Amino acid sequence: MSRAKKAAGLIGLAAWLVVPVIGLFHLNRLAADQPLERPIQVTAVVEANTEATLEPVSLWLIRQSQPDLVAPAWDGLVLKSGLKPGLTIRSGDLVAVVGGVSRLAFHSDQPFSLPLSQGDSSEDVRRLHRLLRSLGHDVDENSSSFGRDTRRAVIELAGRLGAADRSGVFAPDWVVFLPTEEYVLDQVNLVVGGPAPAPGTSLATSAPRLTGAVVVDALSDSAISSPASTLDASEPRTVDPDAALLVANQVVALDEDRSRVAQASLPLLDSLVAAESIAAPARVSREPRANELRLPAAAVFTSPTGTSCVLLEGPPRQGLPVTIQASSRGSAVVTGALEPGQRVVVAPEAQDRLC
């Protein structure tokens, strides 16, 4: 090959390597000389709020352990049991048939301890009158004196229960002390066909009873579902007077301070939440108020000073403080110096989050 051809080949190879490098360098210089454009940002129209607001909250459930049902001094065999797991026992319900005698549940401030007969006068007699009255006998439930009417009612009760003694003496082992008005059975220990359990032996246990529920800010799903969680109800959430508390889409009444479930509504609440749970999801619902505005929740940001703000579409862009009234399902209900029809920036950049 001639020297001229070799030189031409080398020159071509050099051009093939160098020209792209020069071109890339030139493009980089051009890019560096051009200012970066701001990314296109999404805006949304501010609307008057015409919908009821549904704000997520949680309920901190207060459960209290219940004493066991215990056996009085019985004799004979257990012929029948009225106890079943999950059953709710109330005053007057059958607990068992022991030694041929039916034994009834009765709720009072304390159990009977002694036989009662005509001429006695005591608080036990007053409790006996309340028992007899609850069973339909015509006695004065406020009297503490065991009179003829009491004796007649006790004889009738003895016959109803199948007791052999019809002398008019009330036997304390006819009833089983019920520590609460309603006792939900969990574990039953009474065995039909066995001998009467010894006095003080546990007949049945109850799951912890729901005794209160406090409204708190919404908790995470893991906190609600975990039985090991310990929740802080030191800062209860007050529900506005024009709002309602919803649990499983049912209205649950609140007490006067609007931060706790009313005692009368606890049985309903207990039926709506998971058994033995310590927290439950709920929602606060209310009708729209005057001057409320609805916009995407992503349009609301917190300024460096801790103020909730929105950024009006420019130019010039302007940050305005707002007060969040409710937020759920991707939208926020706010009040502030906004008007329906204005546009706000959704998810503004960090340098624009000022107001």
Written as tens digits, the pLDDT of the chain (355 aa) is 555 555 455 445 444 444 454 555 554 565 555 554 556 789 999 999 998 888 899 999 999 888 999 999 999 999 999 999 999 999 999 999 999 999 999 999 999 999 999 999 999 999 999 999 999 999 999 999 999 999 999 999 999 999 999 999 999 999 999 999 989 899 999 999 999 999 999 999 998 889 999 999 988 776 666 554 455 555 899 999 999 999 999 999 999 999 999 999 999 999 999 887 889 999 999 999 989 999 999 999 999 999 999 999 978 888 999 999 888 778 999 999 999 999 999 999 988 898 8
Q: Do domains 43-51+289-352 and 69-206 have the same CATH topology?
A: no
Name which CATH class applies to 69-206. Answer: mainly alpha
Query: Measuring CA to CA, which residue among 91, 120, 95, 94 is closest to residue 107?
Result: 91
Break the chain into its structural domains and give their ranges.
43-51+289-352, 55-64+208-286, 69-206
Please name which of 202, 177, 209 lies closest in space to residue 187, comparing C-alpha atoms: 202
How high is the pLDDT of residue 127?
97
The DSSP call for residue 195 is B
Would the CA dihedral through 132, 78, 107, 85 be positive or negative?
Answer: negative
What is the pLDDT at residue 187?
Answer: 95
> 43-51+289-352: which CATH architecture?
Beta Barrel (2.40)
- CA-nearest of 323, 336, 334, 238 to 293 is 334
pLDDT at 303: 93
Distance CA 334, CA 293 (A): 5
Residue 105: both structure tokens together:
């549940």
Q: Whole-model pTM?
A: 0.60
Q: Return the structure tokens found at 128.
A: 């006996």
The answer to whether residues 245 and 54 touch, using CB atoms and an 8 Å cutoff, is no
